[in-house]
Amino acid sequence: MTKIDIISDPICPWCYIGKAKLDRAFAARPGHEFEVEWHPFQLNPEMPPEGMDRRDYLEAKFGGRAGAIEVYTSIANAAEAAGLTVNFEKIGRTPNTVDAHRLIHWAGLEGVQSAVVNKLFNAYFVDGLDISDHQVLVEIAISSGIDGEMIAKLLAQDADQDGILKRDAYAREKGVRGVPCFIVDNHYVVQGAQDTDLWQRLIDEINASPAKAQA
């Protein structure tokens, strides 16, 4: 089994796009033996716990309305080319993502991490939901087969919050400045939302390696 560690944030549109392209490569190589694990990175580590109005956030981050429109037009075009739906007009607030990352961590313990990541991306980019809202997170957990009552209790506490923040800080200490960042077999580093054909070539290269052939 070959490990792919993905450093990501569920409100990062390029992470959403990058995952779709990787998933297509996996679908094209049905015999692959790759295991995925998701790791936390906050695009906005200083975001208040309650988040902020999305328009205010975008204009502050991109130097005004025109800059925000330019950046998000290119993102919308890339998402469409990847066959994804993005409804930016539905997104009212930019959330703090610590609790979403906690849910991703717990989903990993339950063996449904990638399914929960998919649901978080869809909740945010398709349905425009606030993925810092505990009820939204509980519903995502339940729909993924996780005990919703347990998740509600954990979210009401600070369970694993320090661990998430330390893992985020560790990624930055190791030089991660943007996401998605894919670390393949603890050797290859793939930065950004790369095309499916690159992933197919990489999967083929790893599968054809002498070490893999001897396994």
For residue 165, give Cα distances in angstroms to 42, 45, 98, 168. 9, 9, 8, 5
Q: What is the CA radius of gyration of the chain?
A: 18
- pLDDT value for 213: 47
**What is the CATH number assigned to the segment(s) 2-214?**
3.40.30.10
Contact 132, 138 (CB under 8 A): no
pLDDT in tens, 177-206: 999 999 999 988 999 999 999 999 999 998
Domain spans of the chain, in order of start: 2-214
- pLDDT value for 178: 95
- pTM for the predicted model, two decimal places: 0.95
- pLDDT value for 82: 94
C-alpha angle with apex 92: 89 to 97, nearest 5 degrees? 115
- pLDDT value for 118: 98
Whole-number Å distance between alpha carbons of 119 and 143: 9
